[in-house]
Amino acid sequence: MRSRSVLALALGLVLVLTGCGEPGKTPHQAGGPPPAASSPTPAPTPTPTPRPSRTTPPKPKPKLRPLPKTLPAGLHRGSGDRGVALTFDDGPDPRYTPQILDQLRAAHVTATFCLIGKQARRYPELVARIVREGHQLCNHSWRHDLNLGRRPAAEIKADLVRTNQAIRAAVPDAEITWFRQPGGRWTAEEVAVAGKLGLRPLHWSVDPQDWNRPSAKTIIKRVQASTRPGAIVLMHDGGGDRSQTMAACRQLIPDLKRRYGIARLT
């Protein structure tokens, strides 16, 4: 009963939040290639879709600290350059992360991937490819906990450390520069904990809300309308059906590169 009410609360939060993903959402269908019409060979079994985690650890729930009315100080909200920084959240995902990596490679640009710990543990080969291809890494919490910043400092620390460990299990010397709180629901305490772990707090300046699955055309329009020099653009390569994001990026990545240049976060 208790877990059911926690689930209902979690679902409610996911529905009302903007900015960062539908962690438990399973896509209706995988975006793989259509089966060959004449071939009797069965299509290869797709990599299993990550199972959503809705369970909460069986421990007494401390009171959550309130969210501040405004974002805490110290968040990175600009690329640090004239160019635009691309960030992709909620992966790695076997359907979409390879697609976005292919697009980035074709455009000769790099991005920052905000990885969920559980996903990194499940798909270490994708973490390895992200690093091998020169992208930057961002810790995005173990299980996309929208309330992580409201929890006791020790819990925040344990979550971030566990996520870093999953990333480093895939790439032992991985440089994890950033932390991004799911949903952008930051607290000053969380920024401090991340800082002690050497993680810099990464926010964004452009959010097309692609997690809510608008059309590719809408994603493109939203990004183009609000991007300025030095922007950090938030999009998603995991957490649900991201086919519209993939389609949008085929136009957006070359377009942003031409207009502003694509920057590495500094």
Q: Which residue has the tokens 């208790």?
A: 2
Question: Shortest approach of Zn ion to residue 249 CB, angstroms?
Answer: 17
85-91 and 112-115 beta bridge pairing: parallel
Q: Which is nearer to Zn ion, 10 or 255 (CB)?
A: 10
List CB contacts of 236: < 8 A, sequence separation 6 or more: 20, 21, 88, 89, 90, 91, 210, 211, 242, 245
Q: Residues 99 to 128: which contact Zn ion by CB under 5 A?
A: none
Q: Give ∠ CA 55-60-65 in degrees, rounded to 5.
A: 95
The yes or no reply on residue 90 touching Zn ion (CB under 5 A) is yes
Judged by CB under 5 A, the stretch of 59-67, 82-90, 146-154, 255-263 that binds Zn ion is 82-90
Catalytic: 89?
A: yes
The yes or no reply on residue 24 touching Zn ion (CB under 5 A) is no
Q: Using the rule CB under 5 A, which residue among 83, 85, 88, 89 binds Zn ion?
A: 89
Count other C-beta atoms under 10 Å from residue 195's C-beta.
Answer: 13
Residue 118 in contact with residue 166, Cβ under 8 Å?
A: yes
Judged by CB under 5 A, the stretch of 19-27, 48-56, 57-65, 68-76 that binds Zn ion is 19-27
**Cα radius of gyration (the chain):** 18
Q: Residues 172 to 201: which contact Zn ion by CB under 5 A?
A: 182
Site size with Zn ion, rule: CB under 5 A: 5
Q: Using the rule CB under 5 A, which residue among 20, 126, 223, 231 binds Zn ion?
A: 20
Q: Which is nearer to Zn ion, 123 or 260 (CB)?
A: 123
Residue 260, SS3?
Answer: coil
The residues annotated as belonging to the active site are 89, 236
The contact set with Zn ion (CB under 5 A) reads 20-21, 89-90, 182
